[in-house]
Amino acid sequence: MLEYYGNPDKSRLPGLLERPTSGNEDVIRSVDEILSDVREHGDEALLRLAERFDGARPDSLFATPGEFAEAEALVSPSLRKAVDEACSNIRRFHEAQLPKGEVVETQEGVVCSRRIVPIGRVGLYVPSGTAPLFSTVLMLAIPASVARCRDIVLATPAKNGKVNPAILYAAKVAGVHRVLKVGGAQAIAAFAYGTESLSPRDKIFGPGNRYVSFAKLRVSSFVAIDMLAGPSEVMVVADRSSDPVFVAADLLSQAEHGNDSQVVLLIREDEAEAARIYSEVRGALSGLLEELPRADFMLRTLENSVAISYPSSEDILYAVNLYAPEHLIINTSDCDELLEGVENAGSVFLGPYSPESAGDYASGTNHTLPTSGWARSSSGVSTDSFIKKITVQKLTRKGAGLLAPTVMEMAAAESLYAHRKAMEVRTCR
């Protein structure tokens, strides 16, 4: 596990940092069948597929007030308190992200502005397989609610007819309007095509298994999606100041996400010191594995993982920006300085006291982040993801007169004479 490479030639980095891949061929046919089934048969298909995949035909497609009340009673007071506190932090950070729009008089009588408008109908998908990801409910619904989306629908499977109580509770506190008790590719189909009881969504958000991801890819030619989510990944930057137990615990928390997730440790020290740190981290890993359930599972994940050292910050940052990690933990004495050189990352965790799990749940940042190197071009989900910015221009008569020569000259040079005419007629009336 965690194979170590000291100061490797940079040309080797793309190979060392290659992400695990998995084929998708087997899911294509199944997803396509589900998509056309829901498209053709609507609600009836959703109920039939719920029975087939989730063990029961639900009494209603949407969670009822009674189900919400029942769920709240089933969630322990301590978990309710934790969800409420996480919600408050996440809401605070996402409210600060709401843009105000701009108004600029670019030249006399020409006023350009951007209007901030929420996306109307959004669909949020939250899986509920081995573990109910109620934290993801918060990460998607809070920004939607902060952006004031008009119609916020969350879909999640109802195993044997029941939605997980923590998911229903989180949906309520986060501002979800309706919970659709449907999971998998069929939920994505309902969002994309609409059914008798659900209008088509303007944008679809949320993680999921390969079926859900492939369904999102399929419908993305006609409906917006948040991102194509791949396996989760973390890069940890350490040096001699880092507590090896902290480093090991961070690596393990990524490892428990599954054996296609990836863990990379970067040590900024010369080879001798790096080798010493590496062996301390391995020791701490062994110690923690003894305390934790599912050690075998995490060990298998760590087989995909590597540790790499470079003595210089420059080379460490080169590796970071080449890999473009979803999560980047900078646990070094000069973390703020290193941050200045980070160009590609989803979310950064600075210093010894900022584990990834803080941001996964409750610090306030969003945990829906670009994977598979998409951090080179894309940001994670934020309040921005739930709004549009519509540009507006208004010219006065005088402004139109002053701008006309520029527009008319350019339109003629592009051989667009009706464009020129539309400006010209404004100058003579």
Restricting to residues 272-301, which ones interact with a copy of itself according to CB under 8 A? 288, 291-294, 298
Residue 109: CB atoms within 10 A of its CB come to 16
Report CA torsion sign: 4, 5, 10, 11: negative
Q: How far is the CB of 11 from a copy of itself (least distance, A)?
A: 14
Q: How far apart are CA 86 and CA 173, in angstroms?
A: 11
- Out of 202, 233, 239, 269, the only residue in the binding site for a copy of itself (CB under 8 A) is 202
Binding mask 208-227 for a copy of itself (x = CB under 8 A): ---------x---x-xx---
Binding mask 393-422 for a copy of itself (x = CB under 8 A): xxxxx-xx--x-xxx-xxx-xxxxxxxxxx
Tokens 């690596």 locate to 251
- For the chain, the maximum distance between any two Cα atoms, rounded to a whole number of angstroms, is 84
Segment contacting a copy of itself (CB under 8 A): 116-124, 175-183, 258-266, 271-279? 116-124
Is there a catalytic annotation at residue 326? yes
Binding mask 56-95 for a copy of itself (x = CB under 8 A): ----------------------xx-xxx-xx-xxx-xx--
**Residue with smaller CB distance to a copy of itself, 186 or 383:** 383
Q: How far is the CB of 223 from a copy of itself (least distance, A)?
A: 7
Q: How far apart are CA 148 and CA 187, in angstroms?
A: 23
- Out of 56, 110, 275, 322, the only residue in the binding site for a copy of itself (CB under 8 A) is 110
**Residue with smaller CB distance to a copy of itself, 185 or 362:** 362
- Out of 120, 199, 334, 337, the only residue in the binding site for a copy of itself (CB under 8 A) is 120
> Looking only at residues 308 through 347 of this chain, which bind a copy of itself when binding is defined by CB under 8 A?
335, 339, 342-347
Strand partners, 413: none
Q: How far is the CB of 116 from a copy of itself (least distance, A)?
A: 10
- Out of 117, 286, 303, 334, the only residue in the binding site for a copy of itself (CB under 8 A) is 117
Q: How far apart are CA 378 and CA 343, in angstroms?
A: 11
**Residue with smaller CB distance to a copy of itself, 12 or 397:** 397
Residue 114 interacts with a copy of itself (CB under 8 A): yes or no:
yes
Query: In which element (H, E) is residue 329 found?
Result: strand 327-331
3-state SS class at 342:
coil
Strand partners, 26: none
**Residue with smaller CB distance to a copy of itself, 8 or 364:** 364
Residue 160 interacts with a copy of itself (CB under 8 A): yes or no:
no
Angle between helices 271-291 and 244-255 (to 10 degrees): 60
The CA-atom distances, in angstroms, between 175 and each of 25, 71, 145, 325 are 37, 16, 6, 30
> Looking only at residues 123 through 142 of this chain, which bind a copy of itself when binding is defined by CB under 8 A?
130-135
Residue 10 interacts with a copy of itself (CB under 8 A): yes or no:
no
Q: How far is the CB of 321 from a copy of itself (least distance, A)?
A: 8
Q: How far is the CB of 96 from a copy of itself (least distance, A)?
A: 4
Residue 22 interacts with a copy of itself (CB under 8 A): yes or no:
no
Q: How far apart are CA 264 and CA 273, in angstroms?
A: 18
Q: For residue 363, which of 378, 350, 376 has the smallest C-alpha distance?
A: 350
**Residue with smaller CB distance to a copy of itself, 47 or 382:** 382
> Looking only at residues 356 through 385 of this chain, which bind a copy of itself when binding is defined by CB under 8 A?
356-366, 374-380, 382, 384
Q: How far is the CB of 427 from a copy of itself (least distance, A)?
A: 9
Return the ∠ at Cα 92 (arms to 88 and 98), rounded to 5°.
140
The beta-strand segments (E) located in 119-199 are: 121-125, 151-155, 178-180
Which one of the listed residues 327, 343, 409, 414 is annotated catalytic?
327
Contacts of 125 (CB under 8 A, 6+ apart): 154, 155, 156, 187, 188, 191, 204, 205, 206, 207, 208, 212
Q: Residues touching a copy of itself: how many (CB under 8 A)?
A: 124
336 token code pair: 């703020």
* Residues labelled as active-site residues: 326-327
